[in-house]
Chains A and B, each alone.
Chain A
Amino acid sequence: MPLRAWDSRFGSLPGAPGLQAIRVSREEWRPLAQDLLAARFRLLALWASRGANSEAIIHAVFFGERGALLVSMPVTPEERYVGLEDLFPAASRMQRAIADLSGLHSTDEDNRPWLRHASWPAGFRPLVDAEVPALAEPVADTYAFVSVEGDGVHEIPVGPIHAGTIEPGHFRFSVVGEKVLRLEERLGYVHKGIERRFTELPILEAHRLAARVSGDSAVAFSWAYCQALEGMSGVQIPARAAWLRALALELERIANHLGDLGALGNDAGFAFGLAQFSRLKEDLLRATHDALGARYLMGLIVPGGTRLDLSEGGADRLRSCVRTLTKQVSELRAIYDDHEGVRDRFIGAGTVAPPLATRLGLIGLAGRASGQALDLRVDLPCEPYTELSPVKVCHNEGDVAARVAVRFDETLESCALVERILATMPAGAHIEHVQAPAAGSLGIGLIEGWRGPVLMALEAGVDGSIRRCHPHDPSWQNWPVLEHAIIDNIVPDFPLINKSFNLAYSGHDL
């Protein structure tokens, strides 16, 4: 049935602009998901919570032409709810995480634990049970990897600790010679109980934890958190605060892109690139520190606005920094483009063609390199993006070169945005008082971080507490796609291909 048939049942929801919500029965869950798929919606997040009478509820957020939709369905722990993996493949790991943390199981076949290793007993549901059972000393556990049979096939296990300074995770390659037949990821190593921790913090203070879900996306997560909270409390933040937040978000995007562009050059055997881009990144971090008080803006975004305004001279400092960046990044881009060794490694490596990207639900930066033209700053803009109208970047080749090109384009676009923000941001206060929202209220924040759309679902508890908070990083969608991107490539190209996605571990493992 067409999506229109559900129209009368949609209500509005506080937080991100234009959010709509619908409550469905267990019989309606799958038909609605099918209609959403037919209307080309994509799955943004999937999680479980407890309702007012502590009944279990599964929530999903979909995004499509008519904006973001929250679909909620009450379930019972005794009965399996209908899984969505065949419609939205990214749902699989999210459903497995729901089973690990909330004890609710789907009907889908793959029900191996995902976030739970051997460190806590299977019967303990971290997001449901108040009492933590006695925990045994952690031991190495086993995981049922899918094995590949065949002549000359052998397995290469890597991790959880990797050779470089990166986050921990396990990769298991099945290879013939150097060629990869299959990659299976195992994540969850840095699961540190973030979602349960949220429920122990006051709702007006937990933005600090939000900023630390994934340190490279501190601004995106803390903004999404505050957007949800402010919507629930009915607070309109001062105009200047929104512009300061956008300034911080674009600086975060530029910093991460610069870091990646250097590392990608290095992985392609061009150490010059790393030296140059890491120097530019250092310049930007210092300018950020001078203008906004810290190199990484973990503490800038607070409920009601921003903790600080620009320092005296901060605007000039940032302006001259992004002008230099624009010039130098353009020059370095020409050098990358001309360098045969670099081109050789980038072009055709780790390709995800647009139809596969659509089918698997690839989103964010990596999605925009594979023809998935979704950018919340354009497609679901909050203030000040409504006025800034950023240019959406999109490439179709889907290889490392395309993911590099998206980063170059977006770095230059963000530099231009920073200049425009500095030139046009309104004067006035940068923070407004916020009161804790009413118990039981629910809001969702959605912000386009550098990696892609970041979501924060927040439910208020009594007396300024948090009943439930679910952070969602786009890495959930993109990790499974990396398994496809590496197929038929050679093992030595994995670091480069992996880096070109640069997905979060902490932001995913929670």
Chain B
Amino acid sequence: MLKTLKQIASIGIVTEPAPPADESLRVRDALQEQIRSVLGRALCIRHVDAGSCNGCELEIHALNNPVYNLEGLGIRFVASPRHADMLLVTGPVSRHMVVALRRAYDATPEPKLVVALGDCGCTGGIFGESYASCGRVANVIPVDVAIPGCPPSPTRILQGILAALHTSRASAAGASETLDSPARRA
């Protein structure tokens, strides 16, 4: 116990200040106003690996380390889509994960945000579209923010998540138009 306390005292607090939101990562202006009013500042994220190589997952893990301290910003990862405000989806969507991903999406209460993570989530990446892969996340469910990188750094991921949350003046018409983006037709 003494050793544990000593270690805690000697390391101190290592958390760094959060980066600013990066608006350029936003691909769709949907419902942010509404979400912010519902959420205040707390955000619950459900991660879904829809076919990733596991590289993106390593950097999502890093967000929870004491340096980035995601929970300190009021952002939590939750175990069920039913408790989530946001789905953070990695990978090209493998055809074997389409059903599970759609179910997770449907189970997430409205209003909801979807962030596609990594080059694979954004474009299908090196895996592309094939007999086994549907390519980018937006080919399967609607996406609000897409964060490129292979894997994107924790700072980039945080900037993207914050961009998704950032208040915008999306008109109701604009929002519903983008909801019917190619994503829905896939």
Q: A-side interface residues toward B, CB under 8 Å?
A: 117, 119-120, 124, 126, 132, 135, 137-140, 160-161, 163-168, 188-194, 196-197, 208-209, 212-216, 218, 259, 272, 275-276, 278-279, 281-282, 285, 295-296, 298, 331-332, 334-335, 338-339, 504-507, 509
Please state if A212 and B55 are interface contacts (CB–CB under 8 Å): yes
Please state if B54 and A504 are interface contacts (CB–CB under 8 Å): yes
Please state if B97 and A189 are interface contacts (CB–CB under 8 Å): yes
- A-B residue pair count with CB separations less than 8 angstroms: 160
B7 CB within 8 Å of chain A: yes
Contacts of A167 in B (CB 8 A): 49, 52, 54, 57
Please state if B61 and A165 are interface contacts (CB–CB under 8 Å): yes
Chain B residue nearest to A262 in the complex (CB): B65
Chain A residue nearest to B97 in the complex (CB): A189
Please state if B7 and A192 are interface contacts (CB–CB under 8 Å): no
Q: B-side interface residues toward A, CB under 8 Å?
A: 3-4, 7-8, 11, 14, 47-62, 64-67, 77, 79-80, 91-92, 94-100, 104, 125-128, 130-133, 150-151, 153
Contacts of B91 in A (CB 8 A): 190, 192
What's the nearest-Cβ distance from chain B to residue A305, in Å? 21
Please state if A216 and B11 are interface contacts (CB–CB under 8 Å): no
What's the nearest-Cβ distance from chain A to residue B65, in Å? 4
In the bound assembly, the distance between CA atoms of A132 and B129 in angstroms comes to: 12
What's the nearest-Cβ distance from chain B to residue A218, in Å? 7
Contacts of A124 in B (CB 8 A): 131
Please state if A196 and B131 are interface contacts (CB–CB under 8 Å): yes
Known pairs A126-B131, A212-B126; A279 contacts B94 (CB<8 A) = no
Contacts of B48 in A (CB 8 A): 161
Please state if A191 and B65 are interface contacts (CB–CB under 8 Å): no
In the bound assembly, the distance between CA atoms of A196 and B131 in angstroms comes to: 9
Please state if A296 and B3 are interface contacts (CB–CB under 8 Å): no
Contacts of A193 in B (CB 8 A): 127, 130-133
Known pairs A117-B96, A164-B79; A506 contacts B53 (CB<8 A) = yes
Contacts of A296 in B (CB 8 A): 55, 58-59, 151
Contacts of B94 in A (CB 8 A): 189-192, 509
Please state if A196 and B130 are interface contacts (CB–CB under 8 Å): yes
In the bound assembly, the distance between CA atoms of A191 and B53 in angstroms comes to: 10
In the bound assembly, the distance between CA atoms of A204 and B134 in angstroms comes to: 26
**Among A275, A506, A507, contact of B66 (Cβ-Cβ < 8 Å):** A275
Contacts of B97 in A (CB 8 A): 160, 168, 189-190
The contact sample of 26 A-B pairs, CB cut-off 8 A, is A119-B96, A124-B131, A126-B131, A126-B132, A163-B80, A165-B61, A167-B49, A190-B91, A191-B94, A191-B96, A192-B91, A192-B94, A192-B127, A193-B131, A196-B132, A197-B127, A214-B54, A215-B53, A216-B54, A278-B61, A279-B11, A279-B65, A295-B153, A331-B3, A339-B4, A505-B49
